[in-house]
Structure 1
Amino acid sequence: MNINTLTGILIPFAGTTLGAAMVFFMRKEMNEMLQKLLLGFASGVMIAASVWSLLIPSIEMAEQEGGIAWVPAAGGFLLGMGFLLVLDTLTPHLHFTDEKPEGVPAHLKKTTMLVLAVTLHNIPEGMAVGVTFAGVLTENSVMTMAGAFALSVGIAIQNFPEGAIISMPLKSQGISKRRAFIYGALSGIVEPIAAGITILLTGLVVPLLPYLLSFAAGAMIYVVVEELIPEAQTGKHSNISTIGVALGFALMMVLDVALG
């Protein structure tokens, strides 16, 4: 793994860490309208990244290899959705907007289950970044270093508000600012780990690359549909989150097309 790849897979983690650090500068809970805007923004970024950075390259790679173009894209996408469904069903976790935990019953602290919920969200993002850099390392003509960095930066941008969304509610639960920051930052460490594992898998089985691209897309879309959008649409001011989706989608699309 070269220095460019290592830097690329750490950028999203840096975004989460910087966002979690906002707990030191914000005295009160995050404004509800701002939180909805940021949740929508994160959703928009993930949807655009799934299409332009993952599904379209998956289809183009399959066409280059002479196979049926839609098979890796559709198959990997459904497997990614199923993978996150299983993780979501089995892993004990708690969302900030809920009172009752999800997953297998476990005697865990509330803060632990809150962090686990966000960690689940970060797994597909880490996989997405990892598989794009894996494509560059295999010297596939569809994937470029600029495109891989564009995705990494896009994920980091949406991770910044996610980090704040994690650490601020933890502080309101009575946890110290320092501990809330640490929990927020640690929730993002799964991203470079997932990215590294994905790069390793792709290096061992290069023909899996189109499937892994669409797999990551399916996993990210699951998070958007199952968690982010429902949380953003609850209560009042749901139109604010819709604006956030539009802004996030447009930004990620521009990054991918301009730099990819």
Structure 2
Amino acid sequence: MQMIVWAAQGTGFTFLMTTAGAAMVFIFRKQMNEGIQRIFLGFAAGVMIAASIWSLLLPAIEKASANGGIGWIPAAGGFVLGAVFLIVLDALLPTLYPKLQQQGEGIVSRKSSALLVWAVTLHNIPEGMAVGLSFAMAAGQAGNDAAFSAAIALAAGIGIQNFPEGAAVSLPLLQSGHSPLRAFLYGSMSGIVEPVFGVLVVLAAGAVEPLMPWLLSFAAGAMMYVVIEELIPQVHREVRVNPGMLGALGGFLIMMILDVALG
């Protein structure tokens, strides 16, 4: 029981940080000029590229190698599966939800924003599982302060990283025509999977642990598909200094620093 409580507390913090990031929609105006919209889209792309590398693919390779496997196999296999999943979803969404074919009020399409929510939500699932497992291990080693400190550090690191991710989801949603409240709720709910799967993984730790490299790389493939197929094409224009490019560089830089500095 203690394992579940600790896992819920750790992943609850990461979810609250996603919610705080999503709340950025209440600070910015609903109508923005095209250059600002491109910065937000570029920022989301940069955040997702950095998260795919440092939060997902590198940990997947490390975990697979630590388990005695060949690191690149689950990283590459999961990456391909994640990309294929988003390709299929991209093809099905306009049929299942015709309204997604409508263009948003700005440069952000509704379909792009829907895929963005899917990709970030998928990315948050293995992160929540990693935090849940770390607290479960700490609870199983009563008196081991080092294990507990490591679990807290992991939750803090992922939580801080979740702040720009929450903003990266909600701000493009705002620009695609959603109300600030709806954009906030979607951005916040992209993180609710962390406490849900953080607790579930404690209940099935033995079965899930070997699959973590595949789950992490699956999420990376999904995120990279959205970046390449949806976000980058929408921010690209034949201009000398593209504000979307500057946003992408800034988002990548911020997320890289957070991932490396916070472990």
Q: Which residue of 2 aligns with 1:9?
A: 15
Q: Does 1:138 align with 2:133?
A: yes
Q: 1:119 to 1:156 in 2, by over 3 A?
A: farther
Q: Which residue of 1 aligns with 2:174?
A: 167
Deviations, residues 56-83 of structure 1 (Å, cap 9, x unaligned): 1100111111011111100111111111
Q: Does 1:256 align with 2:249?
A: no
**1:19–1:161 contact (8 Å) kept in structure 2:** no
Mean Cα displacement is larger for which, 220-229 or 114-123? 114-123
Q: Does 1:216 align with 2:219?
A: yes
1:202-213 aligned within 5 A: 202-203=201-202, 204=204, 205-213=208-216
Aligned residue type for 2:127: T
Deviations, residues 101-140 of structure 1 (Å, cap 9, x unaligned): xx446368957xx656423312222232331231233238
What TM-score comes out, normalization by structure 1 length? 0.77
The whole-number CA distance in structure 2 between the counterparts of 1:229 and 1:109 is 18
Aligned residue type for 1:182: L
> Which consecutive unaligned segments of at least 5 residues does structure 2 have?
1-6, 138-146
Over the matched positions of the two proteins, sequence identity in percent amounts to 38
SS in structure 1 of the partner of residue 98 of structure 2: coil
Q: 1:237 to 1:6 in 2, by over 3 A?
A: farther
Q: 2:61 aligns with which of 53, 59, 62?
A: 59
Query: Offset of 1:201 from its aligned partner?
Result: 6.4
Q: Does 1:232 align with 2:235?
A: yes
Mean Cα displacement is larger for which, 192-201 or 245-254? 192-201
What TM-score comes out, normalization by structure 2 length? 0.77
Query: Offset of 1:257 from its aligned partner?
Result: 1.0
The whole-number CA distance in structure 1 between the counterparts of 2:63 and 2:166 is 28
The whole-number CA distance in structure 2 between the counterparts of 1:184 and 1:46 is 18
Which protein is richer in helix relative to its size? Answer: 2
Q: 1:234 to 1:154 in 2, by over 3 A?
A: farther
Q: Which residue of 1 aligns with 2:38?
A: 36
Q: Which residue of 1 aligns with 2:76?
A: 74
**2:100–2:111 contact (8 Å) kept in structure 1:** no
SS in structure 2 of the partner of residue 91 of structure 1: helix
CA-based RMSD of the aligned residues comes to 3.0
**1:133–1:145 contact (8 Å) kept in structure 2:** no
**1:115–1:187 contact (8 Å) kept in structure 2:** no
**2:15–2:188 contact (8 Å) kept in structure 1:** no
Q: Does 1:181 align with 2:180?
A: yes
Q: 1:31 to 1:198 in 2, by over 3 A?
A: same
SS in structure 1 of the partner of residue 190 of structure 2: helix
Q: Paired residues, what number?
A: 236
Q: Does 1:118 align with 2:82?
A: no
